[in-house]
Amino acid sequence: MARLVMKFGGTSVADIDRIRNVAHHVKREVDAGHEVAVVVSAMAGKTNELVAWCRAASPMHDAREYDAVVAAGEQVTSGLLAITLEGMGIDARSWQGWQLPILTSDAHASARILDINGAELIKRFKERKQVAVISGFQGIHKDTGRITTLGRGGSDTSAVAIAAAIQADRCDIYTDVDGVYTTDPRVVPRARRMDKIAFEEMLEFASLGAKVLQVRSVELGMVHKVKIFVRSSFDKPEDIDPHGTPPGTLICDEEDIVEQQVVTGIAFSKDEAQISVRHVPDRPGIAAAIFGPLAEASINVDMIVQNVSADNATTDLTFTVPASDYQRSLDVLGKSKSAIGFDRIDGATDVAKVSVIGIGMRSHAGVAADAFKALAGRNINIRAITTSEIKFSVLIDAAYTELAVRTLHSLYGLDK
């Protein structure tokens, strides 16, 4: 007997037939004698619809009310799955974030989970084998009691946090692909599924654009040592061998990976915007004058490139921000124009960041140089570069994203 968290994403619960399929997966585990907590997302497309309604009601809406609206998608799915399970003769009930409760910070729309009370769930597992069906993505602020949400893709984080709270043996993330691939299999059909990936690498994949797991879910898994397994919800429940290992990817410690490649995979993100601040005075304090106001506005700056001044007087400073913060960044910088003393700002939103990830890069030189050569061979211009111990990223024109990803995927021998 094991204690399991099973998380199902939006595509996996997109309609009543798929919810019924999910219920059969849950039944399979219940029949095998396991204690089960299920975490569900909103039905595919619902969260986008709710977000759009908030924007239509008022572009400058209160984030607390936004959370009250967008958390509703998950409430519908948890109720529907509990109804379906009950219809199949399985003892089940739905739980909203405020009912457990899942206590969070007050950062509405991107709240952090602070504490989850799993005692009642465990009691019900023990007393009556009841299946808990929990709405992902939502919680309540610990002081105000207002509904919060965890940021897009946040149901992954709900699932891992619940797994930690109830000391689950495993957290299975059921999604519309059967694991974590060397890159997005929708873009590169020759991408390979990995049997295992280290937490550190998965963190990079998630933060650099692979949306298969939300970054915070990986962070939490790493800290609380949760066994996270990514697998497909589209496998037929009746075809799964209860004693075998299904196809999927285990997120594990680096030491548990026997054959380490230099490059593990490629991630990309089109959610980038480039800002170049032209002719800023080349003197101490300029970076602080530019990035201070952006930080105060909670805008995350990513790649930063600054040239050494040619004339000892002025220089250009280029950096990237999330595309959704582009206009706000321009407004913030515009207000600080006299304090910074720049000449003009150039910007672009048709850019993409392509990243190469691999723990093996720590001990191998020349990995990035090979990529620059291969991209040049395809006539792809690099606008900016950043590197760290286990990854490097290049900023390129968005139109070349797929070509760049495929080129690098082949270059590092990742094609199947």
Q: Which residues bind ligand ASP (CB under 6 A)?
A: 9-10, 41-42, 47, 73, 136-137, 152-156
User: In this chain, which residue has its C-beta nearest to ligand ADP?
Assistant: 9
Is 217 an interacting residue with respect to ligand ADP (CB under 6 A)? no
**Cα distance between residue 414 and residue 394, in whole Å:** 19
27 with 92: CB under 8 angstroms? no
Contacts for 390 with CB less than 8 Å, ≥ 6 apart: 200, 201, 204, 357, 358, 359, 361, 362
93 with 78: CB under 8 angstroms? no
**Residue 78 to residues 9, 19, 183, 404: CA-CA distances in angstroms?**
12, 10, 31, 40
Residue type at 285 in one-letter notation: G
For the bound state, the minimum distance from the C-beta of residue 401 to Mg ion, rounded and expressed in Å, comes to 20
Question: According to CB under 6 A, which residues from 162 to 181 bind ligand ADP?
Answer: 175-177, 180-181
Which residue(s) pair with 138 in the sheet?
Answer: 149
Select the residue interacting with ligand ADP from 153, 154, 221, 248 (CB under 6 A): 153
Contacts for 115 with CB less than 8 Å, ≥ 6 apart: 103, 142
Q: Which does 277 bind (CB under 5 to 8 A by kind): Mg ion, ligand ADP, ligand ASP, none?
A: none
When the beta carbons of 205 and 392 are compared against ligand ADP, the nearer one is: 205
CA torsion 124→128→133→134, rounded to 10°? Answer: 0
Is 10 an interacting residue with respect to ligand ADP (CB under 6 A)? yes
CB under 5 A: which stretch of 2-10, 49-57, 109-117, 239-247 binds Mg ion?
2-10
When the beta carbons of 161 and 351 are compared against Mg ion, the nearer one is: 161
For the bound state, the minimum distance from the C-beta of residue 187 to ligand ASP, rounded and expressed in Å, comes to 20
For the bound state, the minimum distance from the C-beta of residue 341 to ligand ADP, rounded and expressed in Å, comes to 42
What is the tally of helices (H) and strands (E) in the chain?
13, 18
When the beta carbons of 10 and 118 are compared against ligand ADP, the nearer one is: 10
Is 405 an interacting residue with respect to ligand ADP (CB under 6 A)? no
Closest to 156 (Cα-Cα) out of 25, 7, 6: 7
Contacts for 269 with CB less than 8 Å, ≥ 6 apart: 208, 209, 352, 353, 355
For the bound state, the minimum distance from the C-beta of residue 211 to Mg ion, rounded and expressed in Å, comes to 6
Select the residue interacting with Mg ion from 139, 153, 265, 358 (CB under 5 A): 153
Q: Which does 73 bind (CB under 5 to 8 A by kind): ligand ADP, Mg ion, ligand ASP, none?
A: ligand ASP
Closest to 152 (Cα-Cα) out of 357, 307, 324, 383: 324
CB under 5 A: which stretch of 3-11, 86-94, 270-278, 279-287 binds Mg ion?
3-11
Is 229 an interacting residue with respect to ligand ADP (CB under 6 A)? no
- The SS3 of residue 346 is strand
When the beta carbons of 9 and 97 are compared against Mg ion, the nearer one is: 9
Closest to 225 (Cα-Cα) out of 248, 195, 255: 255
Question: According to CB under 6 A, which residues from 183 to 212 bind ligand ADP?
Answer: 183-186, 205, 210-212
Please give the residue ranges that form the binding site for ligand ADP (CB under 6 A): 9-12, 41, 153, 175-177, 180-181, 183-186, 205, 210-212, 265
